[in-house]
Amino acid sequence: MTTPPPAPSRRTLLRALAVLPAAAVLLGETPGLLGTALAAAPAAGSASRYTIVPFLNSNDGTVNVYQSDDATDFRLLQTSAYTPPANRIRDASVFKHTDGYYYLTYTTHTWQDVSTTIGFARSADRLNWTFLYDYAVPITNLSRAWAPEWFVDADGSVNVVVSCSTTDNEWIFTPYLLTATNSALTSWSSPIALSGIGANHIDTFIVRIGSTYHAFTKNETAKYIEYGTASSLTGPYTITRTGDWAGWGSYREGPALVQLDNGGWRIFFDGYGDGSYYYSDSYDTFATWTTPAKLPGISGTARHFTVVKETVSGGPGLTRNATRSFQSANYTTRYWEEQSALLNLPVVTASSATADKQAATFTVVAGLADAGGYSFRDASGNYLRHWDFRGRFDANDGTTTFAKDATFIARTGTASGSVRFESYNYPGRYLRHYNYQLRVDLPDGTDLFRQDSSFVPVTAWA
């Protein structure tokens, strides 16, 4: 069982209470931690899959492959999945092409060396990669071509945005656009500088929403990630957010964005100044962002990556309006059981008392707050919900808050047939056991946490 995250100090809580509305205190969650976003997932039988292929803080000669179903808890799939035949691999960007293959493009040399090429590799399964070629970027007097980033436009055109400097000033970078001129991605247009972003910007990452292009780019002088928009991919971009506009801090680089299942946008960035990797979310088209958090498990290991998101078959699903018991995936003699209105994980066997078997049996119903999720009802009609992040059973009071507290999103568990349950109104927190008590906690990136939060729906005890 993993160690629970540290609780806020009493002083911190008191300060938060002083400014929190009284109604919020009555909701039962710790001040300052009230959920704002809501979790979501694809339909039953499907799952989201987020893949990253980062180079390593300890080794820029190879990349690992990780995947996640929630864009937070990334699990290692393959170590040293790809090592180029020569040179290095840094700043690897990944996408899935219409031919069904996954493609990498990457920086081919260390930061100290002249680097006039970008590399390309391909994989059918994300685990086994084949080197394709190194492409010499055709810019006169090129000194360095760094951090190539894939961008697929609405018309299906495949592009790479690459940061380039020339020999007259090798540390002043400008973003250039390369557009594939064939479907095999072996031929490219002449580089076009992105207008409006200006010199001395690096690691430019672009997303398109509607007819607007949104660029996130590191100002190499100020060391902040800036933001601008344009109506054309090549610009002109207008930079409207500078300095610490999003609260991410300085000495940040390698921004990469992906849209989450709940409609929000998540940015990942390399906090190279403090050796950590962060993520932050926006739910208002990039106007405001959540406080950056370190990626569990891979922060300090993974460096400069992008994310490819897919919807795949085989996701978890539960039969609704049916009774089930829930067996711990890593303590297989232990089951969910309601004890004094709290959800615990005691041993339950065929010789257990009838009352214990009944208390370990629950009706699975559609989520009270979202029919795509799940809620769990005991024999007396009370629902499992979280209160101060502890699992407990209460009568449905009809409030929106209760419905959200009592709704969980199913994610794939670690053992065959197992499921993890993500809090609906505290995305990223999972129902897990600690000291055989069920609570809603943030993952720490370990396999043990994933096991502690995995449960197998089985035939009901009663």
pLDDT in tens, 122-175: 999 999 999 999 999 999 999 999 999 999 999 999 999 999 999 999 999 999
pLDDT higher than 70, residue 99: yes
- For 340, phi and psi rounded to 5 degrees? 50, 45
pLDDT higher than 90, residue 16: no
387 close to 28: Cβ distance less than 8 angstroms? yes
pLDDT, residue 317, reads: 85
Pairing of strands 59-68, 55-56: antiparallel
| pTM for the structure as a whole | 0.89
Region 71-77: mean pLDDT is 96
The predicted-structure confidence for 28-70, as pLDDT tens digits, reads as follows 333 333 346 899 988 888 999 999 999 999 999 999 999 999 9
2 band by pLDDT with thresholds 50, 70 and 90: very low
Go through 60-86 and write b for each residue having 16 or more CB atoms within 10 A of its CB, e for each that does not.
beebbbbbbbbbbbbeebbeebbebee
Considering only the C-alpha atoms of the chain, give the largest distance between any 2 of them, rounded to a whole number of Å: 82
The predicted-structure confidence for 208-253, as pLDDT tens digits, reads as follows 999 999 999 999 999 999 999 999 999 999 999 999 999 999 999 9
Q: Which helix (H) or strand (E) holds 133?
A: strand 129-136
Which residues are 76's β-sheet partners? Answer: 66
> Alpha-carbon distance 143 to 98, whole Å?
33
Which residues are 266's β-sheet partners? Answer: 258, 281
pLDDT higher than 60, residue 327: yes
Region 321-345: mean pLDDT is 98
> Alpha-carbon distance 251 to 93, whole Å?
21
pLDDT higher than 90, residue 23: no
pLDDT higher than 60, residue 10: no
Stated length of the chain: 462
Which residues are 214's β-sheet partners? Answer: 207, 229
For residue 348 the two structure tokens come to 């339950």
pLDDT, residue 314, reads: 87
The DSSP annotation for 200-260 comes to: SEEEEEEEEETTEEEEEEEETTTTEEEEEEESSTT---EEEE-SSTTS--SS-EEEEEEE-
pLDDT, residue 36, reads: 60
Which residues are 124's β-sheet partners? Answer: none
Region 175-190: mean pLDDT is 98
pLDDT, residue 122, reads: 98
Task: Compute the mean pLDDT over every residue in the chain, rounded to the nearest whole number.
Answer: 92
> Alpha-carbon distance 98 to 106, whole Å?
20
Give Rg (Cα) of the chain. 24
For residue 351 the two structure tokens come to 């010789």
For residue 167 the two structure tokens come to 């020999």
pLDDT higher than 90, residue 332: yes
